[in-house]
Amino acid sequence: MKNFLLNNVSLDSLTTLFSQAPVALAMLMGKDQVVEIANRQILDLWGKDESVIGLPLLQALPEIKDQEFPNILKGVYNTGITYKGNSVLAMIEKNGILNECYFDFVYSPIFNNNTINGVSVVATEVTEKVLSEKKLKESEIRFKELMEISDYSTGIYVGEDLIIDFANDQMIKTWGKDKSVIGKPLEEALPELKGQPFIGILQNIFKTGVPYVAQEDKVDLVVDGVLQTYYYNFSYKPLRDVSGNIYAIMNVAMNVTELVEARKRAEASEVEYRNLAEAMPQMVWTAGIDGAIDFCNNNMMDLLGCSEQTIGQLNFKEIVHPVDYMKLVDAWIKAAEKNTYFEMEFRLKDIRTSEYRWFLSRATPVLDKDKFVKWIGTCTDINEFKNLVSQKDTFLGIASHELKTPLTSLKLYAQVLERMLKKTGDEKNAQFAKKMDLQVIKLTSLIGDLLDVTKINSGKIHLNQDVFDFEQLVVETVEEMQMSTMHKIEIVTEHVGTVFADRERISQVITNLISNAIKYSPEAERIVINVKGDGKNTVFTVQDFGIGMPEENKDRVFEQYYRVSGDEQSTFPGLGLGLYIAAQIVERSHGKIWVNSVLGKGSTFSFSLPVVKI
């Protein structure tokens, strides 16, 4: 209603016309802006009734006296220029309460014979819309404040031109730009996105309203002047106004470049690992903490007759030799409980021949910050080696047995020769004969060790077990050895009761431990023997103050042919069989043997045997 003309139009006609209008209308006449006509709609907007008709506007709505509307109306009346207001705040009193209202309105001059007689009012209340938009704006501001401190990269792009309305510091850092990009179209701010799919995806969301989520998507960005490749988990989510129309898109992103590259490196390493595993002659495998194999190379699958899909279903009780199975289980449980290195020899059934073959299995736990991840292990075929060892043991057994007779004769001849030379007064040559006898004794001892080892390895060593007083045996053995050494053997014993074992073999163990203590402490003057019991076991301990050994070597001293060396290996002769034989005798007597040692300070060897009641 640009200009309202009253020429030849009656007041009644106008009143009827205004009352039927679908919008809020009023006529304010004269300089005092008297409410000449006001339909029901505008009266409702004002919060008034028909009693205000005929009153000057400021009497009808006294609350607007200090607001802008009277001056605007006055300006339209004086100038004849129409005024339009959008979402203008008006404080209107309704039911005795002053309310914050918002209106879209038009003030148009009313002409009668080219003279301005008044002003027409057309109004629409938009309070709900304005307040909703204000709440939306406030919510958006709070959201932006929250996103500004977020660890996620966040941006908001307005309109189909994708104007960057907001980007937090993380997003600016992600782009490798500065805050000057805000207010620019995304494609202008990041020209490197041209040719990449992201602009098209964003524009399509404006058309469809369907959000977009990406996992580990590749993005090329110019950072520090260099085009670089990154990977992001990100989402594009449409933002809607109170009318439900999409006005912007929110972009939330998380940089996962390091994670993706680490996984790619891991995958490449996995490929290299598998290729290496297939190139190795050994069987290579990995397993979880429960021992279930989750990977093995073709060598192992060929031997066991399985595939990658069925390897985890293997029942080792069916493929490990029955004699070795429980030993394997015990050793595995001990290693798994402590996450320590695993090593054991056992026999596996070759599915191709149904024969058992010897393998040496080794496994190392993989840890991540002391937390178990998996086992990595190998199985090496040692069947031929075992056969050779068996043949060697057979040969040594035969050779040692055959050597005993001539050595016995040689020892007898040396003793006779020594006595004869002494009778003739030839003391010098008699000493040579005595030394020869001592060497024969050493050789006889070595041959005895070799015979014992061959018997142990073949399972033919025989123990003549009986009940005897353990303390008495120790005292007797120590007295005998004290006669042949310059070291002082200090002994502390208590009556520990009787044991059931082979008396001669246990004496052999005690002799071996004392001999080693003397041999490996050449600079010391004494060793200490201790015998004690706890009612269930008797414990023998020999302590020396010699060279000691590193912590990592102490568990190997009971291995066959293993020898502890000083600065000069020749200083400590021997075959490395004594402790192996001692350990086998103790274990076959249902006892335990162990060692504690500190390098450079000495060692303490101990073994225990169960006490028996008589």
Query: Computed from CA positions of residues 459, 464, 468, 473, in that sequence, does the dihedral angle turn out positive or negative?
Result: negative
Kind and range of the H or E run holding 301:
helix 298-304
Is 265 contained in some domain? no
pLDDT > 60? residue 396:
no
Question: Amino acid identity, residue 575?
Answer: L
The percent of residues in the chain predicted with pLDDT above 90, rounded, is 39
Q: 144 and 252 share a domain?
A: yes
Highest mean pLDDT among 140-144, 258-262, 407-411: 258-262
Q: What sign has the CA pseudo-torsion 515, 521, 524, 530?
A: negative
The pLDDT assigned to 393 comes to 61
Q: Which of 101-115, 289-303, 513-527 has the lowest mean pLDDT?
A: 289-303
| Helix ranges, 153-197 (H) | 169-175, 186-189
Q: Report the alpha-carbon distance of residue 46 to residue 29 in Å, rounded.
A: 18
At 324-336, the pLDDT tens digits run: 999 888 888 888 8
* 353/398 same-domain check: no
- For residues 606 and 596, give the distance between their C-alpha atoms in angstroms, rounded to a whole number: 9
Q: What percent of the chain has pLDDT over 70?
A: 85
Q: What is the pLDDT of residues 574-599, one digit of tens each?
A: 556 778 888 888 988 999 999 999 88
**One domain, residues 436 and 499:** no
In a domain, 269, yes or no: no
Burial 337-348, CB ≥16 within 10 A → b, else e: eebeebebebbb
- Residue 22, pLDDT score: 78
Task: Please check whether residues 163 and 229 belong to one and the same domain.
Answer: yes
300 occurs within a structural domain: yes
Domain that holds residue 367: 280-379
pLDDT above 50: residue 567: no
pLDDT, residue 532, reads 93
For position 499, which CATH number holds? 3.30.565.10
In a domain, 205, yes or no: yes
Averaged pLDDT score across all residues of the chain:
84
Q: Please indicate whether residue 113 or residue 255 has the higher confidence score (pLDDT).
A: 255
In a domain, 274, yes or no: no
CA dist 429 and 412 (Å) reads 16
Q: Does one domain contain both 48 and 71?
A: yes
331: exposed, middle or buried (Cβ count in 10 Å: 0-12, 13-18, 19+)? middle
pLDDT score at 205: 94
Instruction: Note whether residue 325 is domain-resident.
Output: yes
Is 267 part of any domain? Answer: no
Domain endpoint, select from 457, 487, 520: 457
Q: How far apart are CA 593 and CA 304, in angstroms?
A: 37
Which token pair is 107?
A: 């003030």
- pLDDT greater at residue 3 or residue 156: 156
Which pLDDT belongs to residue 397?
A: 56
- Segment 81-101 mean pLDDT: 92
Tell me, yes or no, whether 446 and 478 share the same domain.
no
User: What is the per-residue pLDDT for 142?
Assistant: 73
CA distance 393 to 491: 38
* 3-class DSSP assignment, residue 457: helix
Average pLDDT over residues 422-450: 72
Residue ending a domain, choose from 329, 345, 379:
379
| pLDDT level of residue 608 (50, 70, 90 thresholds) | very high
Q: Is the pLDDT of residue 282 over 80?
A: yes
Please tell me the predicted confidence (pLDDT) of residue 442. Answer: 64
**277-281, 340-344, 400-404 — which is least confidently predicted?**
400-404
Say which range, 5-14, 197-206, 484-493, has the weakest mean pLDDT: 5-14
Contact 463, 501 (CB under 8 A): yes
Number of domains in the chain: 5
My answer on whether 426 and 493 are in the same domain is no
Same domain membership, residue 167 and residue 243: yes
Supply 335's token pair.
């290693």
- What confidence category does residue 237 fall into, taking pLDDT thresholds of 50, 70 and 90? very high
- Residue 395 located in a structural domain: yes
Residue 569: per-residue pLDDT: 41
Q: Taking 50 as the threshold, does the pLDDT of residue 179 lie above it?
A: yes
**pLDDT value, residue 390:** 66
Torsion of CA 439, 444, 447, 452, to 10 degrees: -140
CATH number at residue 357: 3.30.450.20
83 phi-psi bin (left φ>0, alpha ψ -120 to 50, beta other): beta
Which whole number is the average pLDDT over 297-320? Answer: 85
Q: At what angle do helices 427-457 and 383-423 cross, to 10 degrees?
A: 160
| CATH code at position 408 | 1.10.287
Mean pLDDT of 59-81: 93
Domain boundary among 226, 260, 294: 260
Pairing outcome for strands 4-5 and 97-112: parallel
Give yes or no: residues 482 and 594 share one domain: yes
Residue 512's Cβ-count burial label (10 Å; 0-12, 13-18, 19+) is buried
E strands present in 148-225: 153-158, 163-167, 212-223
Same domain, 407 and 490: no
Instruction: Please check the confidence at residue 308 and state whether its pLDDT lies above 50.
Output: yes
Q: Does 570 lie in the same domain as 484?
A: yes
**What is the model's pTM?**
0.42
**Predicted pLDDT at 149:** 67
The residue length of the chain stands at 614
Mean pLDDT of all residues in 294-313: 85
Q: Does 339 lie in the same domain as 400? A: no
